[in-house]
Chain A
Amino acid sequence: MPSLKQALSSQVGRKIMTGITGIGLMLFLIGHLGGNLTIFGTADAFNIYTKTLMDLGPLLYVIEAGLAFFFLYHTVLGVSIWLGRRKARPQGYDTYKTKGGTSHQSLASRSMIISGSVMFIFLILHIIHFKFGADYTTMIDGEQARDLRKLVIEEFQKTWVVIGYVFVLVLAILHLSHGFWSAFTSLGMKHGETSKKVQLAAYAFGIILMLGFIFIPVYIYITGGEGSLISY
Chain B
Amino acid sequence: MTIHLKYWKQDGPDAQGYFEEKTLDTVNEHMSFLEMLDVLNEELQLEGKDPVEFDYDCREGICGSCNLVINGQAHGPNAKTACCQLHMRTYNDGDHITIEPPRAAAFPVIKDLVVDRSGFDRIIEAGGYVSVKTGSAQEANSTPIEKHSSDMAFDYATCIGCGACVAACPNASASLFTGAKIAHLNKMPQGEVERYDRVVAMVDQMKEEGFGDCSNYGECEAVCPQGISISAIAEMRRDYVKAMFS
- Specify which chain A residues have a CB less than 8 angstroms from the CB of B98 in the assembled complex: 94-95
Neighbour of B210 across the interface among A88, A96, A102, A104, CB < 8 A:
A88
Cβ-based interface call for B104 (8 A): yes
Cβ-based interface call for A123 (8 A): no
On whether the beta carbons of B171 and A7 are closer than 8 Å, the reply is no
Residues from 174 to 197 in B contacting A, C-beta threshold 8 Å: 175, 196
**Cβ-closest chain A residue relative to B230:** A191
Cβ-based interface call for B200 (8 A): yes
Residues from 52 to 79 in A contacting B, C-beta threshold 8 Å: none
On whether the beta carbons of A84 and B234 are closer than 8 Å, the reply is no
Considering only CB atoms and an 8 Å cut-off, how many residues of chain B contact the other chain? 56
Is chain B's interface secondary structure helix, strand, loop, or mixed overall? mixed
- Specify which chain A residues have a CB less than 8 angstroms from the CB of B104 in the assembled complex: 88-89
Known contacts A95-B71, A101-B222; decide if A1 and B243 are in contact (CB<8 Å): yes
On whether the beta carbons of A11 and B79 are closer than 8 Å, the reply is no
Known contacts A7-B244, A102-B218; decide if A95 and B100 are in contact (CB<8 Å): yes
Min CB distance, B96 to chain A, in Å?
10
Neighbour of A104 across the interface among B71, B207, B218, B243, CB < 8 A:
B218
Neighbour of A99 across the interface among B79, B203, B213, CB < 8 A:
B79
Is chain A's interface secondary structure helix, strand, loop, or mixed overall? loop
On whether the beta carbons of A12 and B203 are closer than 8 Å, the reply is yes
CA distance A49 to B113 in the complex (A): 63
On whether the beta carbons of A187 and B237 are closer than 8 Å, the reply is yes
Cβ-based interface call for A21 (8 A): no
Cβ-based interface call for B95 (8 A): no
- Specify which chain B residues have a CB less than 8 angstroms from the CB of A16 in the assembled complex: 237, 240-241
- Specify which chain A residues have a CB less than 8 angstroms from the CB of B74 in the assembled complex: 99
Residues from 83 to 132 in A contacting B, C-beta threshold 8 Å: 84-85, 87-105, 109-110, 112
Cβ-based interface call for A157 (8 A): no
Query: Can you report 8 residue pairs joining A to B where beta carbons are below 8 Å apart?
Result: A1-B243, A15-B214, A81-B212, A89-B103, A91-B17, A97-B72, A185-B230, A192-B231
Q: Which residues of A come within 8 Å of B, CB atoms?
A: 1-2, 4, 6-7, 10-16, 81, 84-85, 87-105, 109-110, 112, 178, 181-182, 185-192
